[in-house]
Structure 1
Amino acid sequence: MKKQMNQAEIIKKMTDKELLLNLYFSQGLMIVLAILSSFFLFDSMNEWFQQVQWNPAYFIWYGLLPALIIVSIDLILMKLLPESYYDDGGVNERIFQHRSFLQILYITLLIAISEEMLFRGVIQYEFGYFIASLLFALIHFRYLHKPVLLISIVLISFFIGYMYELTGNLAITIIAHFFVDFILALMIKYKRGVMDDNKYRENT
């Protein structure tokens, strides 16, 4: 509990800009780790290209539609469960609420590409579905004391990993991951905007 509080205090002391820079650093590190580890684990760098196939129908059926299902389930749970269950300490809110539409697009695309390159493109490709999905969930350690968020991350991880198992197409998991993060980030931005407007009206 003390460790969790220390982490929360560190995050609170960081400015929004520092949080964003920390996010860029962590995602950049994942891309570097993915590329470096592939030099040792892959027989050829062509294995990256073998994991990416252009198939618009698959992008819709295994990328976009699963993302919409995930977001819909999340929305239902947000309506049914207390708000505190989905409270991550305000981290996502601070990252996204003051960003422009294009900035949110760029950030969520970077997250999707970096995490899928490492966890699906390298770890699942080399070590299997279960290990990759479990490790993906474990990097979101800040949710360890938030059971609903943790379970949600674990299920999403295994679900997206299963899409990769079915298709072997890294582009599909990137698309699914991107749309989940992008839609939820836009909701954070515009929900906060509406709440701020309402608060302003109440005070005038």
Structure 2
Amino acid sequence: MVGKIKYMTKKEITSIFLWQNGLLILLGIGIIFISTGILNWLGQISFDWTGAIYGLILGIGLGSLNVWLDRLLPERVTDDGGLNQLIFHNRKLLDIFLLCCLIGVAEELVFRGIIQFYFGFWASVILFVLVHFRYLIKVYLLFNVIITSIIIAGLFQFSNQNLIAVIIFHIVFNFIGALDMRNRYQNKGGVARG
């Protein structure tokens, strides 16, 4: 996967993310319509902004811990094959933030708002981990994505199925990590151009 992406421009990489997450959102909306209808689903999902504060605090705390561990551990343990470097190298802050927002909304709509809502805690955890297959290649990355998935699923469950809380957590967690990657890779070589 990384081999093919090495020769893509930033615009092409961004396009892949937009398509992938756009399809996730459409899939999620389709499943909601087919299963119970959007109005019934909206009535059962919490959008409480008070719970979102917990998502924000947890996202900042765990995102910062993740950055600290990534800097503490050797790169051979934390490297995902160079994909994160290709994605975040020389990217503008607004681009990073918008990508994190898109990913947070799409993934949490599907994994917590649909999979966990209809199929339960462990189904959402396992599928979330499997979708992040590039993190399955190393023990630390696998452990990291499993723990993160359990924390997000737990936040959704303990916040009375608050979709806003998990979306905010996901955006903040990803944004902190992405900013750190951008800063670390800023002066390194890279191939994401344009």
Point out which structure has higher relative CO (alpha carbons under 8 A, 6+ apart).
2
Residue identity in the other structure for 2:132: H
Of 151, 167, 176, which aligns to 1:183? 176
Q: For 1:12-63, what per-residue CA distance to the aligned partner results, in whole angstroms no more than 9, with x for missing partners? A: 344433222111111111001100011122254342354242323x222x20
CA RMSD of aligned residues (A): 1.7
Structure 1's consecutive aligned runs of 4 or more residues displaced over 6 angstroms after TM superposition are none
**Number of aligned residue pairs:** 187
Distance 1:37 1:189 in 2: 35
The question of whether the paired residues in 1 share the 8 Å contact of 2:2 and 2:83 is answered with: no
Of 83, 97, 101, which aligns to 1:109? 101
TM-score, with normalisation over the residues of structure 2?
A: 0.88
Q: Tell which structure's C-alpha radius of gyration is larger.
A: 1
The question of whether the paired residues in 2 share the 8 Å contact of 1:124 and 1:131 is answered with: yes
Shift of 1:82: 1.0
Q: Does 1:93 align with 2:85?
A: yes
Of 49, 57, 60, which aligns to 1:55? 49
Residue identity in the other structure for 1:16: K
**Aligned pairs (5 A) from 1:74-153:** 74-153=66-145
The question of whether the paired residues in 2 share the 8 Å contact of 1:63 and 1:176 is answered with: yes
Shift of 1:94: 1.6
Q: 1:95 to 1:59 in 2, by over 3 A?
A: same
Residue identity in the other structure for 2:70: M
Distance 2:97 2:104 in 1: 11
Distance 2:10 2:49 in 1: 38
The question of whether the paired residues in 1 share the 8 Å contact of 2:63 and 2:173 is answered with: yes
Of 15, 37, 60, which aligns to 1:21? 15
Alignment partner, residue 149 of structure 2: 157
Percent of aligned pairs sharing the same letter: 36
Q: Helix, strand or coil: the match of 1:45?
A: helix
Distance 1:97 1:49 in 2: 41
**5+ unaligned residues in a row in structure 1: which ranges?**
1-6, 197-204
Q: Helix, strand or coil: the match of 1:99?
A: coil
**5+ unaligned residues in a row in structure 2: which ranges?**
189-194
The question of whether the paired residues in 2 share the 8 Å contact of 1:41 and 1:126 is answered with: no
Q: Does 1:34 align with 2:33?
A: no
Shift of 1:144: 1.9
Shift of 1:155: 0.7
